[in-house]
């Protein structure tokens, strides 16, 4: 009886393994592919899906033909049941299998007819044509930009450059020694690898993206007198878009290998790190000639034209009447204006810590009571506090879920940072709304936003607090715990940011029992380019076993959200 039970369990185990993506079938194996081949699992994976026929031999070293590729891509993209389009081919007859798949592939845009009207079904497929077809079939096209540079150097100026760029950043193909070899013919085993990677994240190649959310710093050009080229992408094949002189100082906002992504005169580009010296997070001129009084920015209604940035679901009228609202001055010296304009006459001044009665809010401006009547002060330099009721009621809080869309952030075991932080963000949003806050999310779904779009969004909607949520990673698996960042280099509300960071960090330690890595002053883009209390939270390390178990747990995701919420409550409760 025991023998029968164990046999049944064994059969059930192998049956389950055979249908799990990422495992080859236990019931079928090509006779000409041994398990030690790098493509063994991927070939059998696509065979299990019916993309290739389960026959005795796969012929992995044979060149792939256009007809074979068309059939495999149509099946892989689940378009085999679409009606057969009426496409006129010079060399294919309707009713044949090659015609059926070729016509679908052409109709779907995977392939194009030859100039003479033929399909050339038996013509060997080149890698560039394959890359184009794969990119279209799986929507992998990627524009060549500073943060997605063309890493495969032999695709420069190629008509399929964006499609091959998409394969690179999609983890499908990273070429050979930095080259894609577009004119080489493709083998069946290579194509199987590419299709499996496009279909299943298990097989994707790891992609190191240029990191723009890390610490930024200043670097001094040190060439010994020569000029230093600024290039479009991190390789000597990148186009030269500028030149720096020996001794020039630039801001480093990211790095790819030995190449630094810099910001110089408002433009991005890459320079080689060999010719630079890190001079720290403070630009020498930044500390000269500063005054205690913050600048009052021109009051405008900035607009974001990128269609990916959505308007908030909830709108509110401005100016808004307030009741029982006071404002605590956060600047050393703050002008009181006669009217809500930076060009209006100054009728008085306030100093840090003073409290004023707020009569109404209109965009960036707060109308207040003064000894000599009413006046206007810039809202960015006020901490708005409710005398009664919930301290969060009416506060405009922007929650920024890091990464998103084509930028997954850090990941482990198919769990992506972008998904973790979005879950936490939505829970924080719900808690804040229940408290009466006016909550705005930079993204509420799996959408990619640049760092600039995130800060612009906050400014457009007159945010009073900005909270960016992230997950950490490290090369050492022993690194663990939460940490919260603020910026004192350019953010005029550095003190308030630090206070908010301390409240949130204390709650992360208490609520989620996280190791305490402290509150840190760093130049993260989204907090240094904000002008209100702004923090960046690293919930924990996905690379640490203990932290990973929490980050992947719905229970702890709720605890993270509660900790952030309580931190905001306590920050706005402090009078």
Active site members: 538
User: Exposed (0-12), middle (13-18) or buried (19+): which is 355, by Cβ within 10 Å?
Assistant: middle
Neighbouring C-beta atoms of residue 97, cutoff 10 Å: 11
How far apart, in whole angstroms, are the C-alpha atoms of residue 498 and residue 533?
A: 8
Q: What angle do CA 261, 266, 271 make, to 5 degrees?
A: 25
DSSP state of 125: P
Question: Crossing angle of helices 97-107/66-76, nearest 10°?
Answer: 70
Phi, psi dihedral angles at 470 (to 5 degrees): -140, 170
How far apart, in whole angstroms, are the C-alpha atoms of residue 84 and residue 56?
A: 30
How far apart, in whole angstroms, are the C-alpha atoms of residue 49 and residue 21?
A: 9
**Joined tokens for residue 524:** 């993260």
How are beta strands 249-256 and 259-264 bridged, if at all? antiparallel
Radius of gyration of the chain (CA): 29
How far apart, in whole angstroms, are the C-alpha atoms of residue 170 and residue 313?
A: 32
Give the CA diameter of the chain: 96
CB 110 within 8 A of CB 66: no
Neighbouring C-beta atoms of residue 242, cutoff 10 Å: 15
**Joined tokens for residue 428:** 């924080």
Helix H segments across 182-323? 188-199
CB 294 within 8 A of CB 366: no
How are beta strands 346-351 and 333-337 bridged, if at all? antiparallel
How far apart, in whole angstroms, are the C-alpha atoms of residue 55 and residue 33?
A: 12
How far apart, in whole angstroms, are the C-alpha atoms of residue 123 and residue 140?
A: 25
- Torsion angle, alpha carbons of 430, 436, 441, 446, to 10: 20
Neighbouring C-beta atoms of residue 369, cutoff 10 Å: 12
How far apart, in whole angstroms, are the C-alpha atoms of residue 471 and residue 410?
A: 7
How far apart, in whole angstroms, are the C-alpha atoms of residue 429 and residue 433?
A: 6
Residues whose CB is less than 8 angstroms from the CB of residue 433 and which lie 6 or more positions away in sequence, other chains included: 439
Bond before 53 cis per omega within 30 degrees: no
Task: Report how far apart, in Å, the C-alpha atoms of 416 and of each of 215, 402, 557 are.
Answer: 21, 11, 14
Residues whose CB is less than 8 angstroms from the CB of residue 274 and which lie 6 or more positions away in sequence, other chains included: 258
**Joined tokens for residue 479:** 């690194």
């Amino acid at each position: 009886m025991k023998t029968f039970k164990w046999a049944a369990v064994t059969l059930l185990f192998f049956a389950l393994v055979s249908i799990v993506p990422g495992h080859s079938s236990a019931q079928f194996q090509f006779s000409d592919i041994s398990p030690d081949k790098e493509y063994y699992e991927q070939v059998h994976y696509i065979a299990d899906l019916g993309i290739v026929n389960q026959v005795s031999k796969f012929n992995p070293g044979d060149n792939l033909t256009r007809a074979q590729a068309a059939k495999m891509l149509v099946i892989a993209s689940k378009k085999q049941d679409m009606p057969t389009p009426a496409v006129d081919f010079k060399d294919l007859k309707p009713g044949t299998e090659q015609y059926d798949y070729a016509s679908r592939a052409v109709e779907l845009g995977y392939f194009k007819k030859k100039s003479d009207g033929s399909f050339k079904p038996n013509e060997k497929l080149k890698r560039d044509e394959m890359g184009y077809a794969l990119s279209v079939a799986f929507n992998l096209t990627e524009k060549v930009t500073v943060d997605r540079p063309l890493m495969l150097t032999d695709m420069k100026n190629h008509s399929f450059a964006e499609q091959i760029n998409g394969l690179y950043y999609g983890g499908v193909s990273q070429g050979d020694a930095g080259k894609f070899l577009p004119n080489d013919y493709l083998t069946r085993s290579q194509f199987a690898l590419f299709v499996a990677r496009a279909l299943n994240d298990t097989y994707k190649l790891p992609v190191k993206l240029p990191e723009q959310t890390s610490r930024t710093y200043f670097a001094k050009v040190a060439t010994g007198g020569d000029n230093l080229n600024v290039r479009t992408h991190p390789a000597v094949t990148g186009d030269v878009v500028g030149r720096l002189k020996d001794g020039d100082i630039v801001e480093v906002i990211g790095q790819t290998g030995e190449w630094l992504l810099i910001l110089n005169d408002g433009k991005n580009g890459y320079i080689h790190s060999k010719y630079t010296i890190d001079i720290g997070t403070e630009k020498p001129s930044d500390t000269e000639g500063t005054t205690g009084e913050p600048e009052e920015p021109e009051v405008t209604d900035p607009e974001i034209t990128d269609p990916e940035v959505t308007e908030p679901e909830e709108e509110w009228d401005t100016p808004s009447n307030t009741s029982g609202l006071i404002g605590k001055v956060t600047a050393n010296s703050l002008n009181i204006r006669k009217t809500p304009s930076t060009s209006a006459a100054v009728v008085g001044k306030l100093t840090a810590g003073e409290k004023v009665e707020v009569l109404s809010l209109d965009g960036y401006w707060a109308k207040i009571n003064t000894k000599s009547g009413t006046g206007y002060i810039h809202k960015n330099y006020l901490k708005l506090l409710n005398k009664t009721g919930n301290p969060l009621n009416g506060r405009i809080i922007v929650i920024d879920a890091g990464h998103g869309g084509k930028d997954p952030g850090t990941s482990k075991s198919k769990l992506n940072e972008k998904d973790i932080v979005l879950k936490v963000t939505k829970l924080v949003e719900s808690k804040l709304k229940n408290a009466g806050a006016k909550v705005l999310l930079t993204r509420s779904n799996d959408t990619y936003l640049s760092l600039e779009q995130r800060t612009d969004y906050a400014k457009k909607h007159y945010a009073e607090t900005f909270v960016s949520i992230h997950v950490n990673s490290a090369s050492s698996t022993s690194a663990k715990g939460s940490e919260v960042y603020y910026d004192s280099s350019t953010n005029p509300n550095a003190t308030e940011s630090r206070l908010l960071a301390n409240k949130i960090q204390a709650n992360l330690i208490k609520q989620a029992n996280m190791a305490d890595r402290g509150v840190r002053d760093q130049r993260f883009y989204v907090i240094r380019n904000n002008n209100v209390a702004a923090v960046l939270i690293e919930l924990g390390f996905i690379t640490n076993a203990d932290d990973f178990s929490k980050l992947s747990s719905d229970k702890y995701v709720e605890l993270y959200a509660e900790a952030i919420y309580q931190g905001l409550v306590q920050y706005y409760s402090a009078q």
